[in-house]
Structure 1
């Protein structure tokens, strides 16, 4: 029988969130501040930034049992296979010590063929962890990377306190659904989370599914968020949204980087181009759901553009990779702390042959692990753009 202690969930116990919103049930972590959210009316971005990829509760305790009450919002796609339940990873002193889910929650039903959605309210549930070592330890609960999660109550059978600053550098990363976590197995095994663990850094993940679109407000958030290391992964969303042509893309990238440099003039800044994705390598967007596959209960994507349209400035992954490499090389003459990584070094054609993208767009759990290990090997080891130790975020 446990004697429970309930601790208010405040910003002191959260890492990876930029803002906490008070709700009727508790608090909702956001990965974009309210002023930035107000500058976009896109419901996809609103959903993505409120899904707490990389957000974790962090505390020090001797507790052997921990319970977290939460209200998730679970997605159901009409005609598609059920999505996996959200996972809560519990780490003790940096090592995975338990996993749990939360039953109940709200249900967001999305019809991809009509573009409509409906929300059905549901009950609060509990993620429970028991059998933890009774010694003093640092505990992290990584929240589901793919479910909006309102935090309601934290209970433990021993007092908790915030973890003191461990002197780790802060890595701020921005990218698409692949950086958000896509089909990773759990929140601590998305490729950015794995890379952060291997690099010994604190992650702030601004990977937003469908929304790595060179938005000016995102650049300002990157500029204003304290960080020692910054990376931006650019490309796939611009192609599958068919958002702009090459004429607009080049100055938009320069403007995005200029904005970051206004506040972080010398912070190591790594520009990462897209990973290998055959449907968009040489075929422009827009991307679309494969409705034939969907009618068979399979979620899959396809490219709808014409390769000949590249001559008119339509973007493909190949075009974007070449232009990003050129832009970084041009800027490096005046910005030696700017770096470039071809995304195919993380996941290339040979990887696709071995570990194909299940829906033709997103990497699976094994590919996330491979990408995280390769990013850490490139960025954090001696000679890499993020090599070094210690913290200087301010």
Structure 2
């Protein structure tokens, strides 16, 4: 039996295989008025195709817990009930195809209010339908980016409440997995890293203080997310600063990630989705096939928290080896699933596994 096509159970949810779809923003939601943040036919077709292709778990893209938490005006949102109704249509179809639907709830922090990538991705100022971002500290992400508002303690508590409210809506929308986005230089990641968090109160300074906001979000989400359903946390295992001796900037490290994984487990997180980077502009990142897998493997080896690996995983044999070697419990595919929505079915054929096949496709099997 191929390890890649063994079912995987977390709490009461059994995911039919270990081929999972990583969250990837589509920047295709409604942008204003009652349609703001609402999923469109593009989202339905996009996710439905991967479910029909045999993907075991589909994690919807970063879905904002508030309007100002969007990366761009065209991001998905989950701060009102109109958005829930559109998402329910997607989750219903995914379940019907045998896939488990999950959603990544997110706040973009100081990286908010930017244009769609195909329009340059630059910052959008209020006069261009943008808004002032918020952050742990009044530090812009990079040169030319907007100066964020430094969150007050009261505002931090309000954001925690927004994550909890989004989680309730995720349940109403039919999701079976919630993932908290704590990676890639967005708000939670900004609090974790000393590179972006220069606060001197209880949310800054020490590791414990910088971790406080993330754990408060986890606790608030876990309190309203049913006990029988799994909770994921996505992390950037490193800012890629300490890996480069010539870069003197201080950031979040792989050692921090291992330490934090134990905290997440104690607070009710069921799996760590291990990515890297995104918080420090111009960090030197050494890429290649599976370049982020060693970070996931270290968490798996040194803690009891299950992990999923991501990052240039493209080949069925490569994915199988990651699992067979015990480096991760599942693999998350990104761009490869954009290129080939039926990657899971093709990999199953190659490795001798099985995936659910729509009746309409039986003649192709």
Normalised TM-score (structure 2): 0.33
Answer with 1 or 2: which has the greater Rg. 1
If each structure's strand is expressed as a fraction of its own residues, which one has the higher value?
1
Looking at secondary structure, tell me which structure has more helix per residue: 2
Q: State the TM-score, normalizing by the size of structure 1.
A: 0.31
